Amino acid sequence: MEVPNYEDLHFVLVPLMAQGHMIPMLDIARLLALRGVTVSYITTPLNAARIRPSVDRATLSGLPISLVELPFPSAEAGLPEGFENADQLTSHDHARNFLLDATKLFLKPLIGHLRDHRTPPSCLITDAVLPWTREVARAFRMRRLIFHGHNCFSTLCFYNLYKHNVLESAASESDRLVVPGLSHRVELTKEQLTMTNLKELREAMREAEETADGVVINSFEELELEYLKTYRETTGKKAWMIGPVSLSNKDDGDKINRGKKASIDEKQCFDWLKTKEPNSVVYVSFGSIGKLRPPQMEELGFALEGSGHHFIWVVKEGDALPKKFEEEPITERWMVIRGWAPQVVILSRREIGGFVTHCGWNSTIEGLCAGVPMVTWPLLGEQFLNEKLVVDVLRVGVSVGVPRPCGWVGEEAGAEGVGREAIGMALERLMDGGDGGGERRERAREFGELARKAMEVGGSSYVNLTGVIEDVLKFKSMENVEENGHDDML
């Protein structure tokens, strides 16, 4: 059997400048490069510095990945100089300028770079939040695939909500709405289902997705095949599940350097874990954007300490911790990590028995890969839908009962959101064997095994990535035939 030659293919990846979007897109770049495809990963100087260690490790191993830095026009778009990532934004005005103005100014520099590249671009994999990239695909007559960063369940839910104008039918933010087009009932408030208040961006994203050549999804068929089939039938779009893409990182060094440099000595963290029993440690992290108010941090800290379990608590730089944890960040009972943590490696440790998560999809699927049950604490965006998937569909999680989303930029989750009693009860259900805890843990373990098999040679996600590449190769061949035929007629 002849081995396919993909060396002439050049994939261009353009993620939104936010950690939760950049990291999985870098994993996709690695997966493509492992197949021999040339990959250009487009970002800005600040973001390039954050991920350069990961890219350097990949290129040193011989993978054909280029990290392309394009200047980010912060001041021109009305942003403070040096603002290049969503985690730096401090107001809604900044968010609007960042998403609607600054990223668009990437268009001309990106086209100029690609025109000068020795290998013509074959395919653009673009973040769904960057609808202007369709102009790049048109300029080079190449395939354009959308990457949401969501799972298929949430992607399908949002598609159906907008298709049927469900959000517009609600009289108030607290109105409860049913997501149409599913085989079972999914009900949330309008406030929980609103991804962004930037209507202009929502409309542009929808149009860009409708005109795209397909969608790539960081999930695997064994997890949500029903929703993949329904999405394809509902939209008429090609869609490929190629994840969990975090499993492209095999070496602990790659896992530790994934994203940003860890703010803790990993040896210190792992030495602390080695002193704990299997399944005895709770891992707590709320991602890189959402933020809890100090009173809510007090409630969480009280509940964690009162649970009797060991825990690792990851907090952002600048977060106001309860005084006890500020004064003693590491004790026999707990470890506080301020800043970036090597989450994939920590979750994979046998000592970790549960994960308190904000339900961002990267964190959620990393928890699933590790076979760890979860307490779900969604903060914003599609995270409330991810909670429904984890708790109601997959049945590997316990909801802490968050009533409303927090603000995305410059705001914090309300202190009235979750009390210490509710947190304590969720932790008890998560870590103890009663109330279905054993079944949740076993289902989580089974999903972890299925995830690993999906990424192996011959697995569903491996085959789907081949399908993506072959689709681009076929399109390129057709384009060459058309061009040659056109030349013959001249």
Domains of the chain: 10-166+173-242+457-489 (3.40.50.2000), 260-452 (3.40.50.2000)
Question: What whole-number distance in Å separates Cα of residue 383 and Cα of residue 376?
Answer: 9
CA triple 266-34-256, angle to 5 deg:
5
Question: What whole-number distance in Å separates Cα of residue 127 and Cα of residue 149?
Answer: 8
User: What pLDDT is recorded for position 259?
Assistant: 60
User: What pLDDT is recorded for position 124?
Assistant: 98
pTM for this predicted structure: 0.93
User: What pLDDT is recorded for position 197?
Assistant: 66
CB-based contact 84:17 (threshold 8 Å): yes
Let me know how long the chain is. 490
Q: Which amino acid is at 109?
A: P
pLDDT by residue for the chain (490 residues), tens only, comes to 345 678 889 999 999 999 889 999 999 999 999 999 999 999 999 999 999 989 999 999 999 999 999 998 888 888 888 889 988 877 778 888 888 888 888 899 999 999 988 889 999 999 999 999 999 999 999 999 999 899 999 999 999 998 899 988 888 888 899 999 999 999 999 888 876 667 778 788 888 888 999 999 999 999 999 999 999 999 999 999 999 999 998 876 666 766 666 667 788 899 999 999 999 999 999 987 777 888 999 999 999 999 999 999 999 887 889 999 999 999 999 999 998 888 999 999 999 999 999 999 999 999 999 999 999 999 988 999 999 999 999 999 999 999 888 755 545 444 347 999 999 999 999 998 767 889 999 999 999 999 999 999 999 999 999 999 999 999 888 776 566 554 443 3
Q: Angle 19-34/460-489 helices, nearest 10 degrees?
A: 70
Q: Which amino acid is at 71?
A: P
DSSP secondary structure letters along 139-204? HHT-EEEEE-SS-HHHHHHHHHHHHTTTGGG-SSTT-EEEPSS-SS--EEEHHHH---S-HHHHHH
Question: What whole-number distance in Å separates Cα of residue 267 and Cα of residue 354?
Answer: 21
Question: What whole-number distance in Å separates Cα of residue 408 and Cα of residue 283?
Answer: 23
Question: What whole-number distance in Å separates Cα of residue 149 and Cα of residue 22?
Answer: 9
